[in-house]
Structure 1
Amino acid sequence: MKFFQQPGRARQRPQKPIAVTVEGMTHDLRGIARHEGKPLFIDNALPGERVMVRVDRTHGRYLEGYAARIDEASSERRIPRCEHSERCGGCSLQYLDELAQPGHKQQAVLDQLERIARLKPQRVEPPLTSPAFGYRTRARLAVYFHRKQKQLLVGFREARSRQVIHLNQCPVLAPELESLIQPLQQLLLEMDARDRVSHLELLQGEDGPAVLFRHLQELSGEDLHRLQRFAENHLQQLYLQPGDSASVHCFWQRGEDSQLRYSLPRYSLSLAYQPLDFTQVNPVVNEAMVTQAMAWLAPQPGELVLDLFCGLGNFSLPAAKGGANVIGVEGSAAMVQRALENARTAGVDDISFHALDLTQPGQLQAICEPGVDKVILDPPRAGATEVVAEICQLGPGSILYVSCDPATLARDAAQLRDRGYSLERLCTMDMFPQTGHIESMALFVRSGH
């Protein structure tokens, strides 16, 4: 059986491999076994496999390692489609059958809910899925120019390392973005500032692809001409970022509109955004997620819906189009402004947006009183522990929680249970096929409601 290359800095510290049988999977979809009485978390390993592991990190209570050889393979193991999969940190699960990935992710969420919160949902719905490749509509690529070797590297970081993987392909990217990789590498090689570009943002908008260049010095006139020629041949928009996020500006655009947009066709919505704004990378799963959220929450005319961490209005606008009165809250004032503009463009009136830091106490009391009917909660990976108590004080009949981390969902679910809410429905969303990232949606209903 093939030996696999060990990722990251551990490749410089080879150790004698140990033989283990993989007992199961962790919440981040690594294999788990035991060695000398300690849990061993294993990259590139599937349940039931017999593997040879190189331990590369030793902690007080557990170990971490990499399956350098597979002696007995799982029936779910597959040959990765991408030539960079063994080293690249962008995808971590290409060795797992794409049809099996959603089931493992669902089980990881259920395990975390049981282990941390002692909770089982009353109903578990089928996972929301998309094509396993060609789904990703945005990505950040690192750029590194080795001055002595005159070598340019453009790609993702290596797993467990800052080293840049030079990409020849990336099949999880939308085809329009994957086709830009090699032309962008050639463009950067020709630029005077090839060693002063730190990264690229690749974005697939409604109208076509766009690229943002983050550069660390002023670009020469010739470089600007090179960028314009490239954009005319390949792009819908080209953005430059010479400093912090406030410095982002559109350098070139095709036509009059410099805005990027993504759509929610079911709701006849087109949402404008800027390159560094948060948007979901998988449009198929995003629309399915929004559609299911609206079906579960069922916002009605006259109801007051509170949408926390609302971003550009991904959930707020569909809820308002259903007739509800919606209050959206987001930490970024710039995002709030764009959400307001999206509402105006969509002709949605019964909606307001507020820029508030929800990690600070007492924020919600400033914008609403008890009597909120329903809440949409879509927090970052850290979860929403700071705001759960305030939400419950408002007395909503139901809370729709959209999570990107099973552990923080389970932690917050325990708080909601202790405040009188039951976990009625759960669904996972495979927003990031081929990776260990897990998104889920949970509906909590107030007892007796």
Structure 2
Amino acid sequence: PGCPLRHLSDARQWTLREASHRGALVRLGGLPADHPIERLPGAARDGYRARAVARPYVDEQGRLRLGLRELPTYSVAGIDLSRCPAQTEGSRALLASLAADLDALRIVPFDEETRPHGLRHVVVQVADDGEAQVVLGFGAEPDRAALVAGVQPAHPHLGLHVEVILPHKHGTLVRPEPLRGPAHLHLTVGPDRLRGTLPAWLPQTPATVPALQAAVLDWLAPGPGERVIEVGCGVGPLSLALARQGTPVLGIDHNRAAVLDAQHNAAQAGLNERATFRVGRAEKALRRLLAGGERADLVVLHGMRKPYGPAVLAGVRALTPRAILMIGPSAGAVARDVADAGPAWQVGRLGLLDQLPGTAWLLTLALLTPR
């Protein structure tokens, strides 16, 4: 996302965004308007984004740039992300180098009518140790040999990938294919060096993950012998934090690459006996667990921008947990899931974590317990 609130003070940003998120939770989740909201430690104002999803555009000098631009035009209206203070120094340098290399190759921006073969997007992620991943998304099959020869950013450990997104389709990291270099990178989060392999989605604001881990441990407060199931575990940062405290955890994710990474990360941390992981979509995975007679004392629903929905919430309730912790970047999605949990469940603690200062987004946490 862009940073439409960047011109405001941190306090003013928080006031506006909290009001927006509270409104969604009241309107869609049925929460009281005066329900207390905790403010969790968030990201610094600058230099926090390790990832960028950039769109190509042509500047006034006719050069290809990578940044944000106003749809549907691909010329002049862009904001160069290589100069964005919210990006880390490494991601800015990589974006600048990529733009120069792609411009030299005469790569053109995608346009559905006039340039359907063009470049649609570029995804970059840079780790703190210099590892980097780049995914180039095109509207048609590109000249892969030319890309391998011509895209030479100054990163010693760079994985270069390409994906083809047909003109009528949308999305990023749909099916990236390797061109050169490793398919994974590592991010240091607390005591862990987390591996993420494309298309697994690593945190774009790694500095905020310890704050989220601390909140999960505090809010759930698992007791001796209690078991946690985390739906949407990704590469496992929350599951590992729980397992490190002695809590058995089962992590579930639909992304096979993410689950393999989570298993690797648990083994590297010596936690693979307490933290186990399975591939599966939420509803089917819960159905299999219930068919096997499994139960959970605590459930974490780690969502994205869409609600899990009534069927998943019914499966979660059937696990008979004493608490459900919902986490997601969309207050509306979390609110709908709160409503779908049913009248027998109530929201206790409610919190917001600022992973993307300057934007409209906050990470929403809602802890539900039986009435």
Same fold, judged at TM 0.5 (above): yes
| 1:281-324 deviation per Cα after TM superposition (whole angstroms, max 9, x unaligned) | 11222221111111111234421111001111121111111111
Output the CA distance in 2 between the equivalents of 1:337 and 1:251: 21
Whether the aligned pair in 2 keeps the contact of 1:426 and 1:443 (CA below 8 Å) is yes
Q: Secondary structure at the match of 1:392?
A: helix
Offset at 1:203?
Answer: 0.9
Q: Secondary structure at the match of 1:299?
A: coil
| 1:308-359 deviation per Cα after TM superposition (whole angstroms, max 9, x unaligned) | 0111112111111111111111112222122111111111112221222224
Letter in 2 for 1:183: S
Which runs of 5 or more residues in structure 1 are unaligned? 1-88
Offset at 1:177?
Answer: 1.3
Offset at 1:99?
Answer: 2.9
Output the CA distance in 1 between the equivalents of 2:331 and 2:74: 29
In the alignment, what sits opposite 1:357? 281
The alpha-carbon distance between structure 1 residues 301 and 439, as it changes in their structure 2 partners (threshold 3 A), is: same
Output the CA distance in 2 between the equivalents of 1:363 and 1:145: 50
In the alignment, what sits opposite 1:94? 6
Whether the aligned pair in 1 keeps the contact of 2:57 and 2:69 (CA below 8 Å) is no
| Stretch deviating more after TM superposition (355-364 or 429-438) | 355-364
In the alignment, what sits opposite 2:43? 130
Of residues 174, 180, 185, the one that matches 1:251 is 180
In the alignment, what sits opposite 2:104? 190
Offset at 1:162?
Answer: 5.3
The alpha-carbon distance between structure 1 residues 129 and 150, as it changes in their structure 2 partners (threshold 3 A), is: closer
What percentage of residue pairs aligned between the two structures are identical? 22
The alpha-carbon distance between structure 1 residues 395 and 359, as it changes in their structure 2 partners (threshold 3 A), is: closer
Structure showing greater radius of gyration is 1
Letter in 2 for 1:158: R
Output the CA distance in 2 between the equivalents of 1:271 and 1:367: 32
Whether the aligned pair in 2 keeps the contact of 1:263 and 1:269 (CA below 8 Å) is yes
Instruction: Say whether 1:103 aligns with 2:1.
Output: no
Q: Secondary structure at the match of 2:83?
A: coil
Whether the aligned pair in 2 keeps the contact of 1:328 and 1:353 (CA below 8 Å) is yes
In the alignment, what sits opposite 1:38? none
In the alignment, what sits opposite 2:132? 210
Instruction: Say whether 1:402 aligns with 2:338.
Output: no
Letter in 2 for 1:416: A
Output the CA distance in 2 between the equivalents of 1:264 and 1:118: 35
Whether the aligned pair in 2 keeps the contact of 1:144 and 1:198 (CA below 8 Å) is no
In the alignment, what sits opposite 1:151? 62
Of residues 139, 145, 158, the one that matches 1:237 is 158
In the alignment, what sits opposite 2:170? none
Whether the aligned pair in 1 keeps the contact of 2:200 and 2:255 (CA below 8 Å) is no
Instruction: Say whether 1:163 aligns with 2:74.
Output: yes
Whether the aligned pair in 2 keeps the contact of 1:401 and 1:441 (CA below 8 Å) is yes
| 1:237-276 deviation per Cα after TM superposition (whole angstroms, max 9, x unaligned) | 13122557555326146xxxx63111221xx111100243
The alpha-carbon distance between structure 1 residues 219 and 104, as it changes in their structure 2 partners (threshold 3 A), is: same
| 1:67-103 deviation per Cα after TM superposition (whole angstroms, max 9, x unaligned) | xxxxxxxxxxxxxxxxxxxxxx622222322332123
Q: How does 1:22-101 map to 2 (within 5 A)?
A: 90-101=2-13
Whether the aligned pair in 1 keeps the contact of 2:250 and 2:275 (CA below 8 Å) is yes
Output the CA distance in 2 between the equivalents of 1:381 and 1:356: 19
Output the CA distance in 2 between the equivalents of 1:327 and 1:364: 13
Output the CA distance in 2 between the equivalents of 1:160 and 1:247: 24
Letter in 2 for 1:299: P
The alpha-carbon distance between structure 1 residues 151 and 367, as it changes in their structure 2 partners (threshold 3 A), is: farther
Output the CA distance in 2 between the equivalents of 1:432 and 1:389: 32
Whether the aligned pair in 1 keeps the contact of 2:144 and 2:179 (CA below 8 Å) is no
Offset at 1:160?
Answer: 5.0
Offset at 1:400?
Answer: 0.9
Q: How does 1:406-445 map to 2 (within 5 A)?
A: 406-418=331-343, 420-445=344-369
| 1:144-194 deviation per Cα after TM superposition (whole angstroms, max 9, x unaligned) | 579xx9934322343454536151611111122123333322222222656
| 1:408-449 deviation per Cα after TM superposition (whole angstroms, max 9, x unaligned) | 22222123351x2221111101111111122111111223xx
Whether the aligned pair in 2 keeps the contact of 1:430 and 1:439 (CA below 8 Å) is yes
Root-mean-square deviation (CA, aligned residues, Å) is: 2.8
Whether the aligned pair in 1 keeps the contact of 2:163 and 2:175 (CA below 8 Å) is no
The alpha-carbon distance between structure 1 residues 305 and 191, as it changes in their structure 2 partners (threshold 3 A), is: same
Output the CA distance in 2 between the equivalents of 1:301 and 1:198: 51
Q: Secondary structure at the match of 1:372?
A: coil
Whether the aligned pair in 1 keeps the contact of 2:135 and 2:176 (CA below 8 Å) is no
Output the CA distance in 1 between the equivalents of 2:231 and 2:241: 14
| 1:6-53 deviation per Cα after TM superposition (whole angstroms, max 9, x unaligned) | xxxxxxxxxxxxxxxxxxxxxxxxxxxxxxxxxxxxxxxxxxxxxxxx
The alpha-carbon distance between structure 1 residues 213 and 445, as it changes in their structure 2 partners (threshold 3 A), is: closer
Output the CA distance in 2 between the equivalents of 1:283 and 1:296: 21
Q: Secondary structure at the match of 1:249?
A: strand
Q: Secondary structure at the match of 2:5?
A: coil
Letter in 2 for 1:134: G
Whether the aligned pair in 2 keeps the contact of 1:193 and 1:219 (CA below 8 Å) is no
In the alignment, what sits opposite 1:347? 270
Q: Secondary structure at the match of 2:317?
A: helix
Which runs of 5 or more residues in structure 2 are unaligned? 110-117, 166-173
Letter in 1 for 2:315: E
Offset at 1:217?
Answer: 1.9
Letter in 2 for 1:281: Q
Output the CA distance in 1 between the equivalents of 2:218 and 2:291: 26
Letter in 1 for 2:128: E
In the alignment, what sits opposite 2:95? 181
Instruction: Say whether 1:379 aligns with 2:293.
Output: no
Offset at 1:367?
Answer: 6.8
The structure with the largest helix share of the pair is 2
Letter in 1 for 2:360: G
Instruction: Say whether 1:296 aligns with 2:208.
Output: no
Output the CA distance in 1 between the equivalents of 2:293 and 2:205: 35
Letter in 1 for 2:158: Q
The alpha-carbon distance between structure 1 residues 172 and 161, as it changes in their structure 2 partners (threshold 3 A), is: farther
State how many pairs are aligned. Answer: 346
